[in-house]
Amino acid sequence: MSPTQLIFEPQQKDTAACIALAAFRFLQMGDDEPVAFVPSDQYVADKKAYLAAFAAAEKIALLPETIVTLGIVPSRPETGFGYLLVSPTAEDESTPRGFRRVTRFLEKPSEEHAQQLINEPDVYWNSGIIVCRPATIAHCIEAYEPDIWNSLKLHPLDADAAYAGMPRLSIDYAVMERAKTIYCIPVNCGWDDIGSWAALRRHLEGDDRGNIIQGTATLREAARNIIYVDSKQAVIIGVNDLIIVSNENGLLVCPKSEEPLLKRWLSEAN
């Protein structure tokens, strides 16, 4: 890959800023072909179905000011994902064949609400994957969050200076919950978000006491732990249901039940 194909963020400002920066760079190069923005922390079992969804999404994303997102057919009442509500096919004749118009974004639900959602026919997991033209992102960001786009225009060659003037916002809040034309293509490809330590249980086999271990660790009287050590050997004795992570950035020891609060704790610590 050529260095000119890499776009680096000077700091973390959530997904609206990085997507706006990428779209701005494409437009600087005169490239307005549809582009896919894809989270890196995902697992896909059926690559053929997954890639076919992108091929279909690309054609619809060519339409003016149109955004396509991949909606994942839910397989369990997941409380760690957002959800998409889409229009019934029979009631929206203007929607391209095989697609559904997104009518609402739902935040991460309670367990009871998640159970209700997966039993409804017009509900999908929000994958966070979007396909659109850079000009569509430019239009939406400029309309809904002008501070982000204006900062890029003021500093077209200096990402550090541009980022200094940007708010920290997710693309869902900045664009997806406000844009007028968003289509969902339903996909059943064995997709999963592995952005949490607990998600490793769904994809890695545990030992005879249910411990998920990555790295070198010796366990005694320990059960149902998730353990990641990148270089040093760990000795873990007499503890259950913990997340234990040791790497060059430090040490984490956390009850699995408290992982949903981990992001907040880390932001407060920093």
129-158 pLDDT tens trace: 999 999 999 999 999 999 999 999 999 999
Among residues 192, 214, 215, 212, the alpha carbon closest in space to that of 256 is found at 212
Claim to verify: residue 26 and residue 54 sit in the same structural domain: yes
Report residue 69 as tokens: 């997102």
Domain count, the chain: 2
Claim to verify: residue 66 and residue 124 sit in the same structural domain: yes
Domain that holds residue 94: 3-193
Q: Rounded mean pLDDT of 1-28?
A: 89
Claim to verify: residue 120 and residue 233 sit in the same structural domain: no
Claim to verify: residue 60 and residue 169 sit in the same structural domain: yes
Could you say which of 193, 213, 229 is where a domain stops? 193
Claim to verify: residue 229 and residue 253 sit in the same structural domain: yes
5 or 22: whose pLDDT is higher? 22
Query: Mean pLDDT over all residues of the chain?
Result: 91
**pLDDT, tens digit, 9 for 90 and up, residues 24-80:** 999 999 999 999 999 988 999 999 999 999 999 999 999 999 999 999 999 999 888
The whole-angstrom separation of Cα 143 and Cα 77 is: 35
71 contacts 53 by C-beta, under 8 angstroms: no
Report residue 144 as tokens: 């809904």
The whole-angstrom separation of Cα 13 and Cα 164 is: 10
Whole-number pLDDT of residue 223 = 95
Query: What's the Cα-to-Cα distance from 239 to each of 12, 198, 226, rounded to whole Å?
Result: 35, 17, 11
Query: Does residue 92 carry a pLDDT above 90?
Result: no
Whole-number pLDDT of residue 209 = 93
Claim to verify: residue 185 and residue 203 sit in the same structural domain: no
The whole-angstrom separation of Cα 192 and Cα 244 is: 22
Q: Rounded mean pLDDT of 11-24?
A: 95
126 or 257: whose pLDDT is higher? 126
Query: Does residue 94 carry a pLDDT above 80?
Result: no
Whole-number pLDDT of residue 121 = 87
Claim to verify: residue 58 and residue 23 sit in the same structural domain: yes
